[in-house]
Amino acid sequence: MKPLLAAGLLAATVAYAAEPARDVASSATDREAVAVTVYNDDLALVKERRKVDLPAGLTRLSLREVAAQMRPETALLRAASGQPLQLIEQNFDFDLLTPQKLLEKYVGRQVTVIRPHPTTDAERRETATVLAAGQAGLPNAVLRFADRIETGVPGRLAFDSVPANLRDRPTLSVLLDAGGGKQSVELSYLTGGLSWKADYVANLSADGKGLDLNGWVTLTNRSGAGFDNTTLQLVAGTVNRVRPPQAQMAYAMAPAPARARVAEATQEALMDYHLYSFERPTSIADNQTKQLALLSASAVPVRREYLLAGNEYYYRDRYGQIGQKLKPAVFLEFENKGGQLGKPLPAGIVRVYAKDSKGAAQFVGEDRIEHTAKNEKLKLRLGEAFDITAERKQTNYKRIADNVSESSWRIELRNAKDEAVTVRVQEPMPGDWEMIQESQKHTKDSARVASWNVTVPPDGKAVLDYSVRVKW
């Protein structure tokens, strides 16, 4: 560094150290606008604009009521109007005022002990030095009086003041050089404690061939701050984050049922994620969970599937009766395209309702979906069929070589419904396999899966026989 430049920087530093900073406090009432973008992984970006009156020169601006889970290394303060700000230092004070914290800050300092007189209504006052604060919730503080030492709190304690580094609200303290006058400043930072998830309600039509889908955003705020009249946006997708090796305790910073239709969120692509925006401002109180309408679609075509799935180990050894009264799983399948769908669906839980004979909606199952792009299929597992049962039996087994065997199987499907159903029988096959005999033609779903669509008549049964050779 050149000598003249170094001397100039040193002189500026000395000048700042010599000049006393004036204190200016800003609370949530100074907010002019707030925008919050919430991500899936307990992360949110907060942007707020405040109107402040800054004196000219060195000023310590205390921005109160920021999120208690702020990541202070991400905080950025800039002038939104007026003269630019020269930032010198930032500190995040999240050590909040409580009786225990106040007592801890007074260790080594004097307090006034106030207690009632044993025989009169008068109060007695004594000065004592706090030697130890003890543990929270336990009366084991250690106090030194002029002639003795006592444990516990023998009365009420009176303190001269609140220490400067103990705040009643989370506060970002910024030392800056301002030009003076009223101006708007914009603060942005990342914080934890804000998260969202999607929840969906699907109402099946009476014939079971269509559904009405309503999506809701469930937003939870445990960040330690509330945000009124906020412009809210949500990001769906997995954003990579660098995880710290361990949590730090202090920071020194360098600069349900369907509801009435309402306005829904609009969505747009944001790089490889999707951004959902709500036109109407909303308020997000601290320690609050709220729901906002995400989407609504009606008369979505849906298909029901019954699936009976086997296991690979069936084909490696000799078995008798594999199972009686096996229950096929019930699935609903529909496509995210056309009509009022055809938009990216955030991951969440879909709860499905069907109408009974009186028209009342009854819960029939739920399943979780992952982030689903437009034109993709969704498949929901609702549960197991009550009126459809199956029996699986090995009818023959022959070991041809140490790693080759042939086995024959019979699957009997029974249907107690008054309508025909189609059950998809899906069999995972180990190693290299070859179908050598079957009562109806299979389809090869993949290199290791064979499946059959078996139609079972009403109040009847159907039988599937097949033999397979496997080599592993």
Helix H, strand E, coil C: the string for 352-404 is: EEEECCCCCEEEEEEEEECCECCCCEEEEEEEECCCEEEEEEEEEEEEEECCE
d(CA 184, CA 82) in angstroms, rounded, equals 7
Q: Is 271 left (phi over 0), alpha (psi -120 to 50) or beta?
A: left
Same domain, 175 and 320: no
Q: What is the pLDDT of residues 334-380, one digit of tens each?
A: 999 877 788 888 889 999 999 988 889 999 999 999 988 888 999 99
pLDDT at 253: 33
Mean pLDDT of the chain: 84
Extract the tokens encoding 104: 């801890």
Pairing of strands 171-178, 181-191: unpaired
Total-model pTM: 0.69
Residue 293 domain flag = no
Q: Is the domain of 136 the same as that of 30?
A: no
If pLDDT is split at 50, 70 and 90, which confidence band does 213 have? very high
Task: For residue 99, give both structure tokens.
Answer: 């009786």
Rounded average pLDDT over 38-55: 91
Q: Is residue 351 part of a domain?
A: no
> What mean pLDDT do residues 458-465 have?
96
What is the per-residue pLDDT for 138?
52
Q: 108 and 79, same structural domain?
A: no
Write out the two tokens for 395.
């009818």
Angle 224-230-232 from CA coordinates, rounded to 5°:
95
19 shares a domain with 129: no
Whether 271 is covered by a domain: the verdict is no
The total domain count for the chain is 3
pLDDT in tens, 127-155: 989 898 877 655 578 888 988 988 877 77
Looking at the fold, whether 446 and 471 belong to one and the same domain comes out as yes
Q: How confident is the model at residue 268 (pLDDT cuts 50, 70, 90)?
A: confident
SS3 assignment for the chain: CCHHHHHHHHHHHHHHHHCCCEEEEECHHHEEEEEEEEECCCEEEEEEEEEEEECCEEEEEEEECCCCCEEEEEEEEEECCCCCCEEEEEEEECCECCHHHHHHHCECCEEEEEEECCCCCCEEEEEEEEEECCCCCCCCCEEECCCCEEECCCCEEECCCCCCCCECCCEEEEEEEECCEEEEEEEEEEECCEEEEEEEEEEECCCCCEEEEEEEEEEEECCCCCEEEEEEEEEECCCCCCCCCCCCCCCEECCCCCCCCCCCCEEEEECCEEEEECCCCEEECCCEEEEEEEEEEEEEECEEEEEEECCHHHHCCCCCEEEEEECCEEEEEEECCCCCCCCCECCEEEEEEEECCCCCEEEEEEEEECCECCCCEEEEEEEECCCEEEEEEEEEEEEEECCEEEEEEEEEEEECCCCCEEEEEEEECCCEEEEEEECCCCEEEECCEEEEEEEECCCEEEEEEEEEEEEC
Residue 89 lies in a domain: yes
Which residue, 59, 69, 63, 72, is CA-closest to 23? 59
183 and 312 housed in the same domain: no
Please state, in angstroms and rounded to a whole number, the distance separating the CA atoms of residues 347 and 238. 11
| Residues 384, 446 contacting (CB under 8 angstroms) | no
**Average pLDDT of the residues in 255-282:** 66
Q: How confident is the model at residue 321 (pLDDT cuts 50, 70, 90)?
A: confident
CB 331, CB 380: distance < 8 Å: yes
% of the chain with per-residue pLDDT over 90: 46
Same-domain check for residues 130 and 32: no
| Same-domain check for residues 18 and 106 | no
Q: How confident is the model at residue 277 (pLDDT cuts 50, 70, 90)?
A: confident
pLDDT tens for each residue of 249-261:
333 333 333 343 4
CA distance 191 to 218: 18
- Looking at residue 236, its pLDDT comes to 83
The rounded distance, in Å, linking the Cα atoms of 313 and 307 is: 19
pLDDT value for 42: 86
pLDDT at 319: 81
Predicted local confidence at residue 189, as pLDDT: 94
The mean per-residue pLDDT over the stretch 303-332 comes to 88
Q: Does residue 7 register a pLDDT over 50?
A: no
Q: For position 15, what pLDDT does the model report?
A: 47
pLDDT 10s digits, 382-393: 999 999 999 999
- Given the structure tokens 């030194």, which residue do they identify? 144
Pick the more confident residue, 125 or 324. Answer: 125
The answer as to whether 1 is a domain residue is no
CATH number of the domain within which 25 lies: 2.60.40
- 285-294 as b/e, with b when 16 or more CB fall inside 10 Å? eeeeeeebbb
Phi, psi of 321 (to 5 degrees): -80, 115
What residues make up the domain containing 103? 99-158
Strands 303-309 and 421-428: parallel
Given this model, what pLDDT does residue 257 score?
Answer: 39
Residue 6 lies inside a defined structural domain of this protein: no
Distance CA 322, CA 314 (A): 8
| Strand 156-158, strand 22-26: pairing | unpaired
* For residue 397, pLDDT beyond 50: yes
CA distance 36 to 45: 6
Q: Are residues 25 and 66 in the same domain?
A: yes
Q: In this predicted structure, what is the pLDDT of residue 106? A: 84
| Same domain for 75 and 28 | yes
Statement to judge: residues 136 and 27 lie in one domain: no
Whole-number Å distance between alpha carbons of 197 and 87: 37
Per cent of the chain over pLDDT 70 is 87
Residue 138 burial (C-beta neighbours within 10 Å; 0-12, 13-18, 19+): exposed
Shared domain check, 460 and 431: yes
Residue 303 predicted with pLDDT over 90:
yes
- Could you tell me if residue 374 is inside a domain? no
Give residue-wise pLDDT tens across range 78-108.
998 888 889 999 888 766 667 777 788 888 8
Q: Is residue 354 part of a domain?
A: no
